[in-house]
């Protein structure tokens, strides 16, 4: 059989194989995204069965919106795996070439900012805010919150380099945040905490973690796991402070904030027009991080051309996925959330029906959390860190219950029109107090998990749901309550409950660990005590023969040194005798040769002497002399070496 090498066929096979792998990953991502959104679809179907839509075109709008959200998010996540996330890891590892702290912090700030700008959950939240308050520009809001993330990332890296206690950093940051709450407009309090939860999602979290890992290993290679955790938690505090400052500045510049616009997520535009309107906004979100990364990839990392081209091509599905995702929310997904919120406040239905929103909110929050892939990854990480004492199933159930309660509290706040601070202050105070009793490892995990749970689906569905409930409550009370103040806040609730849940698990783990240590010590003392009590019985069992045998063994051991000394002295004596014998034999042989030559010389007649040719000499006799000399030298050398040993 003849094999022919064909570079074109090999390249074609490689491309085909790569496409097959990418297709398989994309289908797997579609499957995960579909199952994570399946609870929402079930609840939507149930609600639509209870209160059918009046127009058949609205059903088509919901279906198209739902499909756009699933396909868009899947395409977006697949593109991340092949472009932005590898870029983040490469850039983070490239910082090992630089040891200056100011350089590391500056680029940590820049890349943290740009990674957040491309976050889809933040883009959804900014659009919803702009619907209600046009004074707040959506693009500007995105960049302000992203700046807060950048500053937070720099602070987190500074903490790692300087080895500052993470509990102290959290106490200071949240102390400053709640101090600014006193001076900020009430409309911006919920926005600040919601913005913090929306900034840490599918793009920013992996990118910041990749950067943080590369920089932290460069700054100090001896850091432990509990020192490397907490980067996301510290970064999440930055947007809270940034948005509160933004609200204070807006109020100082404009005096009183302008009245709110009616909230309506339904759009009269077609899906094509919505896509065209989102083209520039999506480009502004994705392109900055790519443009700032190109110099690193070319001049510092020096990627091969094929790898560089592959990374750039991976940006295309990121852009298209984000475009489809946001367009689907604008077209149909936000509309259905708003519609469900109105169902329970229909005047034709009983008054008590609105309280059914509480269990609905709990089920939605819990179901989304259980199906969230990022929560599963977090559970696996904690299970490994605790050596299986806390399983990933325990983590998922704990977070599901916590976030279900968060959704319930958010809806309860809207229905009762209670100020959000009456909820957030006790919750954050509880989480900060719990840090005293929680191991540092779980403190970092707890604050990091707050960013994991508030994903794009929360912004896409739950926020429109709560805003529509707030609008219905405001209409029922004559429009006295602000939708901006009462409607937002569900993301902030979802972000704070994991702080308490994970720290509670950490305290439980610490208690179990101490209990297991005490039990192990008690078992050791019990074994030692039983051994001591058995010593007299063991002593009674010892016989005279055992004692005599032991004495013989000890005597043999003490004689080893003497035996060894005798062996060495005998060897040295033998070597010396051997040397003297060799010298004596050589001298005797030389004397015999001389005497024989002398006797032969006396009997030889000078006239009979003839010249003997050299070739008549026996060759064997010629070689015997040097061989004998060599043997003597060899024996002498060996004897000397043995004497040295």
Q: Could you tell me if residue 329 is inside a domain?
A: yes
Residue 476 CA to residue 490 CA, distance in Å, equals: 21
Read off the pLDDT of residues 379-407 as tens digits, 9 standing for 90 and up.
666 676 667 777 777 877 888 888 888 88
pLDDT of residue 175: 92
Kindly tell me if the per-residue pLDDT of 577 is higher than 50.
no
Identify the pLDDT of residue 618. 47
Torsion angle, alpha carbons of 523, 524, 525, 527, to 10: 80
* 295 and 439 inside one domain: yes
Confidence at residue 239, expressed as pLDDT on a 0 to 100 scale: 93
Of 459, 486, 519, which residue constitutes the final position of a domain?
A: 519
* Percentage above 90 pLDDT, the chain: 9
Instruction: State residue 371's pLDDT score.
Output: 60
Q: By residue range, what is the domain housing residue 131?
A: 7-519
In a domain, residue 296? The reply is: yes
CB 281 within 8 A of CB 120: no
Please give the average per-residue pLDDT across 558-576, as a whole number.
Answer: 47
Q: CA 513: distance to chain centroid?
A: 25
CA pair distance 393, 114, nearest whole angstrom: 34
For residue 266, pLDDT beyond 90: no
- Helix (H) or strand (E) segment spanning residue 275: helix 271-295
Q: Quick one: 343 and 376 in the same domain?
A: yes
| Average pLDDT, integer, range 340-356 | 79
pLDDT of 368 reads 72
**In this structure, is residue 528 part of a structural domain?**
no
pLDDT for 378: 65
- Interval 191-238: pLDDT, tens: 898 888 888 776 677 677 767 666 666 665 555 545 667 888 899 899
Report the interhelical angle of 463-476 vs 357-371 (nearest 10°). Answer: 170
Greater model confidence, 23 or 300? 300
Give the Cα separation of 480 and 565 in Å (integer).
107
Instruction: Please indicate, yes or no, whether residues 506 and 596 belong to a single structural domain of this protein.
Output: no
Q: How confident is the model at residue 58 (pLDDT cuts 50, 70, 90)?
A: confident
Asked if 477 and 623 sit in the same domain, the reply is no
| Residues 498 and 556 both lie in one domain | no
Position 141 in a domain = yes
- Local structure of 400: helix, strand or coil: helix
The two three-digit tokens of residue 86, written as one number:
């590898």
Please state which of the ranges 231-240, 257-266, 444-453, 616-625 shows the lowest mean pLDDT: 616-625
Structure tokens at 486: 């009462």
For 564-579, what is the mean pLDDT?
45
Residue 607 lies in a domain: no
Domain boundary residue among 519, 534, 569? Answer: 519
Question: Is 374 or 259 the better-scoring residue by pLDDT?
Answer: 259
- Same domain, yes or no, for 456 and 580? no
Which of 486, 519, 552 is the C-terminal boundary of a domain? 519
Domain assignment present for residue 299? The answer is yes
- Among residues 532, 537, 642, the alpha carbon closest in space to that of 579 is found at 642
Q: In this prediction, what percent of the chain has a pLDDT beyond 70? A: 67
Q: How many domains does the chain have?
A: 2
Task: Please check whether residues 488 and 590 belong to one and the same domain.
Answer: no
- Average pLDDT value over all residues in the chain: 75
pLDDT digits (tens, 9 = 90+) for 64-101: 888 888 888 888 878 877 887 787 777 766 765 666 77
Q: What confidence tens digit (pLDDT) does each residue in 176-199 have?
A: 999 999 999 888 998 898 888 888
Considering the domain architecture, whether residues 243 and 327 belong to the same structural domain is answered as yes
Q: Say how far apart CA 134 and CA 128 lie, in whole Å.
A: 10
Q: Does 189 share its domain with 335?
A: yes
Q: Are residues 550 and 464 in the same domain?
A: no
Whether residue 472 is contained in a domain is answered as: yes
DSSP category for residue 615? G
Query: Which residue, among 460, 435, 442, 251, has the nearest Cα to 338 in the 3D structure?
Result: 460
> Based on the domain organization, do 458 and 391 belong to the same domain?
yes
Classify residue 83 by burial, with Cβ atoms within 10 Å: 0-12, 13-18, 19+. Answer: buried
Q: At 348, give phi and psi (nearest 5°).
A: -80, -10
- Residue 265's pLDDT is what? 57
Inside any domain, residue 609:
no
565 and 635 assigned to the same domain? yes
């Amino acid at each position: 059989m003849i094999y022919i090498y064909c570079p074109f066929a090999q390249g074609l096979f490689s491309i085909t194989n790569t496409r097959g792998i990418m297709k398989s990953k994309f289908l797997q991502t579609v499957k995960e995204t579909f199952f994570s959104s399946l609870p929402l679809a079930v609840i939507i179907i149930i609600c639509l069965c209870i209160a059918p839509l009046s127009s058949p075109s609205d059903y088509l709008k919901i279906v198209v919106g739902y499909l756009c959200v699933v396909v868009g998010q899947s395409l977006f996540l697949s593109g991340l795996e092949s472009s932005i996330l590898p870029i983040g890891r490469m850039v983070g590892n490239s910082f090992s070439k630089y040891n200056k702290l100011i350089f590391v912090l500056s680029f940590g700030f820049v890349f943290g900012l740009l990674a957040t700008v491309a976050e889809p959950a933040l883009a959804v939240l900014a659009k919803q805010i702009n619907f209600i308050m046009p004074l707040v520009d959506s693009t500007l809001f995105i960049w302000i919150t992203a700046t807060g993330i950048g500053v937070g990332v720099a602070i987190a890296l500074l903490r790692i380099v300087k080895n500052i206690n993470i509990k102290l950093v959290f106490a200071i940051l949240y102390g400053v945040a709640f101090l600014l709450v006193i001076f900020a407009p009430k409309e911006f309090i919920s926005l600040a905490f919601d913005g913090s939860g929306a900034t840490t999602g599918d793009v920013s979290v992996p990118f910041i973690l990749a950067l943080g890992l590369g920089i932290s290993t460069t700054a100090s290679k001896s850091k432990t796991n509990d020192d490397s955790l907490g980067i996301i938690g510290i970064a999440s505090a930055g947007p809270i402070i940034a948005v509160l400052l933004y609200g204070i500045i807006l109020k100082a510049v404009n005096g009183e904030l302008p009245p709110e616009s009616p909230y309506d997520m339904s759009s009269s535009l077609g899906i094509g027009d919505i896509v065209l309107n989102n083209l520039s906004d999506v480009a502004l979100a994705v392109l900055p991080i790519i443009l700032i990364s190109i110099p690193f990839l070319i001049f510092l990392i020096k990627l091969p051309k094929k790898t560089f081209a592959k990374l750039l091509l991976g940006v295309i599905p990121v852009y298209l996925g984000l475009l489809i995702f946001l367009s689907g929310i604008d077209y149909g997904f936000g509309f259905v959330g708003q519609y469900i919120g109105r169902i329970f406040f229909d005047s034709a239905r009983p008054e008590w029906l609105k309280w059914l929103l509480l269990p609905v909110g709990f089920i939605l929050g819990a179901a989304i959390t259980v199906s969230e892939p990022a929560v599963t990854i977090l559970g696996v990480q904690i299970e490994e860190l605790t050596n299986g004492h806390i399983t990933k199933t325990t983590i998922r159930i704990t977070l599901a219950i916590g976030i279900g309660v968060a959704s319930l509290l958010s809806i309860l706040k809207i229905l009762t029109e209670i100020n959000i601070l009456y909820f957030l202050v006790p919750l954050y105070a509880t989480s900060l107090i719990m840090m005293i009793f929680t191991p540092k490892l779980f403190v970092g995990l707890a604050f990091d998990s707050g960013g994991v749970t508030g994903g794009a689906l929360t912004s896409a569905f739950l926020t429109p749901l709560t805003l529509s409930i707030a609008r219905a409550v405001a209409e029922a009370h004559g429009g006295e309550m602000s939708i901006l103040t009462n409607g937002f806040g569900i993301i902030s609730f979802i972000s704070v409950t994991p702080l308490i849940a994970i720290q509670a698990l950490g305290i439980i783990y610490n208690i179990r660990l101490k209990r297991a240590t005490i039990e192990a010590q008690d078992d050791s003392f019990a074994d030692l005590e039983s051994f001591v009590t058995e010593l007299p019985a063991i002593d009674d069992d010892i016989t005279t023969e055992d004692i005599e045998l032991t004495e013989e063994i000890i005597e043999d051991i003490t004689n080893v040194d003497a035996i060894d000394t005798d062996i060495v002295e005998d060897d040295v004596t033998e070597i010396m005798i051997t040397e003297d014998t060799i010298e004596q034999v050589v001298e005797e042989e030389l004397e015999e040769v001389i005497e024989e030559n002398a006797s032969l010389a006396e009997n030889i007649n000078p006239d009979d002497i003839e010249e003997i040719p050299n070739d008549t000499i026996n060759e064997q006799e010629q070689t015997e002399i040097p061989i004998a000399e060599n043997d003597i030298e060899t024996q002498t050398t060996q004897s000397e070496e043995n004497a040295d040993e």
